[in-house]
Every structure is written in C-alpha cells, then in structure tokens.
Amino acid sequence: MIVKISDEFVLEAANYSKLSRAHTSDYHDFHEGGLNAKQKKMFEGKIGEKGIKQFFIDNKIIFEEDRSSHTDADEYDFIISKDDKKYFVDVKTRTKKFHTRTLEMVKQFHSKKIDIYISVFLMRDNSNFQIKILGWCNKKDIIKINRIENNGYLDNYVLYDKELKDINQLINYL
C-alpha cells in the first residue's frame, strides 16, 4: 500500500529533525557522523511516521501522536485505542532497497511499551514523499520468532518481510 505524505506533514518532519538533531542519541547510530547526518536520519524516520499518520487519517483510525519534546527520546510514535485498551505503535522506516529486515534493538524491546511495529519504505520523487507500507507485527510475533542478529551495532530482534502481516489485517482489527 502506497501513501502520499502531505506537504504539511513533510514540513512537520523537517522542523522536528532540525530541532532535534543536536539531541539525537549516538547510542545506536551506525551511520556517518555529524549533526547533518543525524538530522537526515531523524527526518527520514519522522517522514515514515508522518506517512503512517496520513494512513491513519485516510482510514479513519483514531490515534494520538507522540508529543514528546525534541530534546527527549520518544517512547512510542502513536497510541491507538480500541475497546478500552491502548496500543503503543512504533514505525520502522527503511530508506534503501537492500534494507530487507525490520529491526528492534533487544534493549529497547524490553524497556519500551510498544505493542505494534509498522514497517515502511520511504520513497522520494523530487520534493514529493511517499511511503510503501511493508507490513506490521506485534510484540508477540517478535517473541515467537525470537531471531536475534548482531551486524556490528548491538543485538537486534529481526523479522523479514515475509514474516510481517498485511496492513489490511491491522485495519480490520482496528
């Protein structure tokens, strides 16, 4: 499923990444260094989140967006409520075609209260941004598969695309 991201949401992501770049952690940053690189990676991640925000709006899914300060690490990207239960959502944004796995750091997996992970691929045509929603999984899926890999930058739980659920299953559930 392809989602076009509005100019307003692109601007939100750009503003946030500019503000937060000096506060972005080096803890799991395995990319080239410097503030500009941090800002670029933050922007790409935020654009992925804004694409899911657009997806939620388009599908009339009621959500609450993370409102933590740009100086703090976020605990989630969205909260979705259903039947008096809150589901914490984290968006995983990929930017390269060779990115074929959904990763979650083992340490974060056990310390954050995320229930649902949504994987997206960021696509850009000039100043137009879109995401392709690759699929989703929940915490139980990650525990069941229980695959941990370390490719030189900490232990990560790993799910491959074929192990992700179709986004329409999430729509139907919600």
107 Cβ contact list (under 8 Å, min separation 6): 154, 155
CATH code at 101? 3.40.1350.10
Q: For residues 17 and 39, is the Cβ–Cβ distance under 8 A?
A: yes
Q: Look up the pTM and report it.
A: 0.85
- Residue 77's domain comprises 2-173
**C-alpha–C-alpha distance, residues 75 and 71, integer Å:** 13
Asked if the model's pLDDT at residue 121 lies above 60, the reply is yes
Neighbouring-strand partners of residue 91: 118
Give 57-114 as a DSSP string: HHTT--EEE----TTS--S-SEEEEETTEEEEEEEEEE-STT--EEEEEHHHHHHS--
For residue range 32-76, what is the model confidence (pLDDT) as tens digits?
A: 555 456 667 778 888 999 999 999 999 999 999 987 755 556 688
Q: For residues 117 and 63, is the Cβ–Cβ distance under 8 A?
A: no
173 Cβ contact list (under 8 Å, min separation 6): 82
For residue range 77-115, what is the model confidence (pLDDT) as tens digits?
A: 999 988 888 999 999 999 888 888 888 888 888 888 899
Q: 24 pLDDT band (50/70/90 cuts)?
A: low
Tally of structural domains, the chain: 1
